[in-house]
Amino acid sequence: MTSLSAPSAPRIDHRTDPGPVLGVTNQRPRLSWTVASAPEDYVQSAYELEIVRGDEPMTWRVTSGDQVLVPWPGAPLEARESATVRVRVQGSGWSQWSEPTTVEAGLLAAHDWTAKFISPVGIGGLRQAAPELLGVFQLPDDIASARLYATAHGIFTARLNSRLVDDTVLAPGWTSYHHRLRYRAYDVTDLVKPGRNELTAILGNGWWRGRLGFLGERAFYGDRLALLAQLEVKTSDGTVHTFGTDGNWHARPTGVLVDDIYDGQTTDLRADTAAPYESAVEEVPTDLGVLVGEDGPPVRVTDTLAAVRVWTSPSGKTLVDFGQNVVGWARLYARATRAGTEVTVRHAEVLDAGELAMRPLRSARATDTYFLRGDDEEILEPSLTFHGFRYAEITGLSDIRPDDVEAIVIGSDLQRTGWFDSSHALLNRFHENVVWGMRGNFVDVPTDCPQRDERLGWTGDIQVFSPTATFLHDSSGFLTSWLADLAAEQERDGSVPHVVPDILRTPMSSAPAAAWGDAATVVPWVLWERTGDKDVLARQFDSMRAWVDKIDAVAGDDLIWRGGNQYGDWLDPTAPPEAPDRATADPDVIATAHFARSAQIVADAAQVLDRVNDAAYYGQLAERVRAAFASEFVTPAGRVLSDAQTVYAIALEWGLLTDTAQRRTAGSRLADLVRAGSFRIATGFVGTPVICDALMNAGYSDLAFRLLLQTECPSWLYPVTMGATTVWERWDSMLPDGSINPGEMTSFNHYALGSIVDWVHRRIAGLAPAEPGYRTISVRPVPPRGLTHASARHRTPYGEASVSWHRDAGTLTLAVRVPVGSRAEVELPWGAGTALVGHGDHTWQVEEPRRGDRPMTTVRDVIDDAALWRSFVDVAVDGGLASSETSAARLLAPHLDRPATELLDAVWTRSWPSDPAKARLADVLRPYLGHVEHAAQPDLEPTGV
Ligand code: BGC
């Protein structure tokens, strides 16, 4: 029998630091643990926490089955206080104690800081070289430990005695600086020494003072760079020696002549590294009340990729391909080059006619320049910028070999928590592209794209992507922090800015926009569902409610949200390149649907938080909005205004249609639209994440799979066939002829349209949360025909869960792993049964029902038979009846209900007089339809294609 293993060392809130967790500002951090294995009948009945503060261990025994985010039992931590925490759990007996976790509080209030923000005087101005600041300290002999607390206006790279204080980059990242400026606590015990110590920091413009947004603005947060650093060194007698930034520091210019996130960095490597610090600094009055600690991991270098190819472009430029669209920078190793040589590296995501395609970057120059020292070997890389690129163009160095250059990948250092695999190579690559898209766009802020003059926290993008994000990587701390920014930036009247941090700040950029502002309600709810964090709901509740109240006010008495500046079903494939909001779905339908959905989320959140009155109020509001939606936009039979795939998908999935007959009509209409669209995607940001759920739940799984596995443009897999290594902003960012979409908004690394993989995890592999935090797991795979296996793994808060199925000779084997503390509700495919299972490994075998020959009754059935449809299209195109699959589908669309035997008559007109073609079509259909009549041509008017 499996024995009960000791729990894992407790996790502190959402922090994932491998060692001691420093700089914690939640004085009562919540604790979580996992249990690797336990006897089959194990259920946690109690846990015991031991917390050592100072010398005294204290223990708390709690009768509870909880193991995720349990409350801190003791007195709140005080500033700088350190504690070690361990846990053991009780089943039929007690487990061993876990390994301890050390948690240490950071500086908690403005008065904990004696350091002052300082800025250099006379150097380090807006268009001057990046400054470096120096502070000198004398330390005694018996150093026990040392902490550095630091942040900046701008981004900084700090060194203690010439060694980097840690491995983070772009510190302190990007938050809504004027409301929340993050600092970090560093353990620098190993970097300090008795006697003289030097602390230096280079300051870059970063988000504080660099260019931000597509309007060309600079210095959004201020025009001076400044550093705040406080070093606290404890000696063995317990005395704390504190040194901080103050007027005694000095500064000098560095060889970083230019630095900008969009435009790149210019570095003169000849700059004298021994130059004296001759400039004075001065204190910059700053409200230290805005300082906050870290919720999630910082930005780090997370990967290094070798160049896969170096070659000469048609115009004679040296190009490098890294084989993967990434975010970071190129590092070059230059050998024995003449001093003063100018080397330039330009970055781009794609090539155009064999040359670097810079147009999609718009005004971002994405160019790093170096003036070399002339040493035998020089390493060229920036530290105060980043780019989104797969290709680099290098000028100024000759004979570059692949070994001389590599791509440095950066991003918020999130733990990977989700994996998917299947027998479908293109689908797997698409999934990989989604993962890379997330890595590149989770750079402290969830951004739309990482390469052009934008890279902003567009709320709509993360609203749709958050379920996928929380599966793939542990995004809990990252999104918790971003949501705090969202709440801080929200207007008093509840409006949510379209980007957070809000740097657009125009009345238009915070005028309520559906799907974008709904990030205020959806993202906290997703975090609750995926992590079980109730506190995030509690913290965001006022923000969530304010957003719904705002829409309520905008909608007015009839509860229909009309007009305004809506993005609508942004970027559906019918929207013209220059007008991404001109989608097929009616914007009022989309807006009002979001109103109903968000009101319901607020009601549900209130329920979780035991806010009874709020739950009742918003529940009724949601109910009334649904009724208003139905009476304004839905016909009695179930058609929805604008008759677009997106409006049916959201009406079905968000519970806006309650009448069974209406739901049936809406589902079948959605299915017919998908058929008429020949399984090319027809949705934008709003419809894309829900379309496959809607089809599947309405009983049209096969159509959902055909949509998912489509490779023609527009579709999810089309970019993969074009060599994409990330998800594109547009369905056709690159056109089928290899040219770049003419729209001025054409990124090759946007995660929004990748949000479908959440459905792939939940319904193809079959792994989803059934209760918040995966306390109960839902296992409901629906195996698509054509896939022989699929699997998903996820590190839930309880430990790793997995679902995997494979087919073999008509038998499907399903294997499920449930972590200790969780359980799974299993629904076997093809109605083969259900099960409720506890932790451990479980397998089932299911005989796959033979798909008897489906009756070919109507024209619709012809389209639904993928093989027949393929042959029909081939012959129809060949014989001139249709110009493409799309036009063939459009031709059949008005005749879906006609008997299949009449198909030829239905679509035949005088414009296609070719009898041989008709005969061939009849041949294609005959095996399916039996005898097909194609006698004399009836007298039909041409309808055109
Ligand atoms: C961004 C989008 C964003 C949109 C909204 C674009 O420029 O890249 O992803 O959501 O603007 O207008």
Query: pLDDT for 401-420, tens place per residue?
Result: 999 999 999 999 999 999 99
CA 559/CA 706 separation, integer angstroms: 37
CA 209/CA 335 separation, integer angstroms: 34
The confidence band for 534, taking pLDDT boundaries of 50, 70 and 90, is very high
Identify the CA nearest to 413 among candidates 167, 135, 62: 167
Start-end of H helices in 584-659? 587-608, 612-633, 645-653
Determine the atom of ligand 1 nearest the C-alpha atom of 214: 7
Backbone angles phi, psi at 204, to 5 degrees: -115, 165
- Residue 186's CB is within 10 A of a number of other CB atoms, namely 23
- Residue 218's CB is within 10 A of a number of other CB atoms, namely 14
- Residue 834's CB is within 10 A of a number of other CB atoms, namely 11
> What is the per-residue pLDDT across 474-493, written as a single tens digit (0 to 9) for each?
999 999 999 999 999 999 99
Residues 843-866, mean pLDDT to the nearest whole number: 89
As given in the structure block, the two tokens for residue 779 are 């296992």
Angle subtended at Cα 298 by Cα 159 and Cα 428, rounded to the nearest 5 degrees: 130
Determine the atom of ligand 1 nearest the C-alpha atom of 460: 10
DSSP output for 33-80: --BS---TT----EEEEEEEETTEEEEEEE-----SSBPP-SSPPPTT
Which of 455, 456, 570 to probe ligand 1 with, by most ligand atoms within 8 A of CB?
A: 570
Report pLDDT for 821.
Answer: 98
DSSP assignment letter at 834: E
CA 404/CA 406 separation, integer angstroms: 7
Residue 662: in which H helix or E strand, if any?
helix 660-676
* pLDDT exceeds 60 at position 936: no
Angle subtended at Cα 835 by Cα 833 and Cα 837, rounded to the nearest 5 degrees: 160
Q: Which residue has the tokens 């506190």?
A: 535
- Residue 284's CB is within 10 A of a number of other CB atoms, namely 17
Lowest mean pLDDT, pick from 438-452, 497-511, 553-567: 497-511
Report pLDDT for 933.
Answer: 59
Start-end of H helices in 197-350? 206-209
Backbone angles phi, psi at 742, to 5 degrees: -70, -15
Q: How far is residue 212 from each of residues 279, 457, 578, 611, measured CA to CA in Å?
A: 29, 12, 22, 40
* pLDDT exceeds 80 at position 943: no
CA 51/CA 71 separation, integer angstroms: 13
Report pLDDT for 878.
Answer: 87
The confidence band for 940, taking pLDDT boundaries of 50, 70 and 90, is very low
Report pLDDT for 913.
Answer: 58
Cβ–ligand 1 distance for 449 under 6 Å, the answer yes
> What is the per-residue pLDDT across 578-601, written as a single tens digit (0 to 9) for each?
899 999 999 999 999 999 999 999
Gap from CA of 291 to ligand 1 centroid (Å): 30
Determine the atom of ligand 1 nearest the C-alpha atom of 516: 10
In contact, 172 and 186? CB cutoff 8 Å:
no
SS3 state at 747: coil
* pLDDT exceeds 60 at position 52: yes
Gap from CA of 587 to ligand 1 centroid (Å): 16
In contact, 599 and 622? CB cutoff 8 Å:
yes
CA 902/CA 895 separation, integer angstroms: 9
CA 331/CA 347 separation, integer angstroms: 12
SS3 state at 166: coil
In contact, 720 and 433? CB cutoff 8 Å:
yes
Gap from CA of 575 to ligand 1 centroid (Å): 14
- CA 838 to chain CA centroid, Å, is 31
Domain spanning 11-105: CATH 3.30.70.20 = no
pTM equals 0.96
Ligand 1, atom 3: closest residue by C-alpha: 458
Residues 607-621, mean pLDDT to the nearest whole number: 98
CA 616/CA 606 separation, integer angstroms: 9
Determine the atom of ligand 1 nearest the C-alpha atom of 750: 9
Gap from CA of 458 to ligand 1 centroid (Å): 6
Cβ–ligand 1 distance for 448 under 6 Å, the answer yes
Amino acid (one-letter) located at 474: D
SS3 state at 588: helix
Report pLDDT for 555.
Answer: 98
Q: Which residue has the tokens 């500086």?
A: 107
CA torsion 324-325-329-331 (nearest 10°) is 20
Residues 711-721, mean pLDDT to the nearest whole number: 97
The confidence band for 944, taking pLDDT boundaries of 50, 70 and 90, is very low
Cβ–ligand 1 distance for 458 under 6 Å, the answer yes
Cβ–ligand 1 distance for 453 under 6 Å, the answer no
Gap from CA of 449 to ligand 1 centroid (Å): 9
- Residue 850's CB is within 10 A of a number of other CB atoms, namely 7
Lowest mean pLDDT, pick from 89-93, 575-579, 723-727: 575-579
Residues 856-878, mean pLDDT to the nearest whole number: 91
CA 757/CA 464 separation, integer angstroms: 11
Gap from CA of 445 to ligand 1 centroid (Å): 15
SS3 state at 399: coil
Cβ–ligand 1 distance for 460 under 6 Å, the answer yes
Which of 448, 456, 462, 581 to probe ligand 1 with, by most ligand atoms within 8 A of CB?
A: 448
Cβ–ligand 1 distance for 406 under 6 Å, the answer no
**DSSP strands (E only) in 94-194:** 101-105, 118-120, 131-139, 143-153, 155-160, 163-164, 181-182, 184-187
Gap from CA of 153 to ligand 1 centroid (Å): 27
Cβ–ligand 1 distance for 461 under 6 Å, the answer yes
Determine the atom of ligand 1 nearest the C-alpha atom of 448: 9
The confidence band for 902, taking pLDDT boundaries of 50, 70 and 90, is confident
Q: Which residue has the tokens 């590599």?
A: 406
Report pLDDT for 929.
Answer: 78
Residues 136-146, mean pLDDT to the nearest whole number: 96
State what percent of residues in the chain have pLDDT above 70: 98
Which of 458, 733, 748 to probe ligand 1 with, by most ligand atoms within 8 A of CB?
A: 458
Catalytic residues: 454, 729
> What is the per-residue pLDDT across 193-230, written as a single tens digit (0 to 9) for each?
999 999 999 999 999 999 999 888 899 999 999 999 99
Ligand 1, atom 4: closest residue by C-alpha: 458
In contact, 61 and 839? CB cutoff 8 Å:
no
Domain spanning 299-412: CATH 2.60.120.260 = yes
Ligand 1, atom 9: closest residue by C-alpha: 448
CATH number for the domain formed by residue range(s) 110-292: 2.60.120.260
Q: Domain limits of the chain? A: 11-105, 110-292, 299-412, 768-847, 859-936
Which of 215, 453, 459, 461 to probe ligand 1 with, by most ligand atoms within 8 A of CB?
A: 461
238 contacts: CB under 8 Å, gap ≥ 6: none
Identify the CA nearest to 681 among candidates 706, 653, 663, 700: 706
Mean pLDDT, rounded, of the chain: 95
Please give the class, per CATH, of domain 768-847.
mainly beta
Q: Does this chain's domain 110-292 share its CATH topology with 299-412?
A: yes
- Residue 575's CB is within 10 A of a number of other CB atoms, namely 20
Ligand 1, atom 8: closest residue by C-alpha: 448
Cβ–ligand 1 distance for 567 under 6 Å, the answer yes
Gap from CA of 501 to ligand 1 centroid (Å): 14
Gap from CA of 4 to ligand 1 centroid (Å): 50
Ligand 1, atom 12: closest residue by C-alpha: 567
What angle, 0 to 180 degrees and rounded to 10, lies between the N-to-C axes of helices 660-676 and 701-709? 30
**DSSP strands (E only) in 821-905:** 823-827, 834-837, 840-847
Ligand 1, atom 1: closest residue by C-alpha: 448
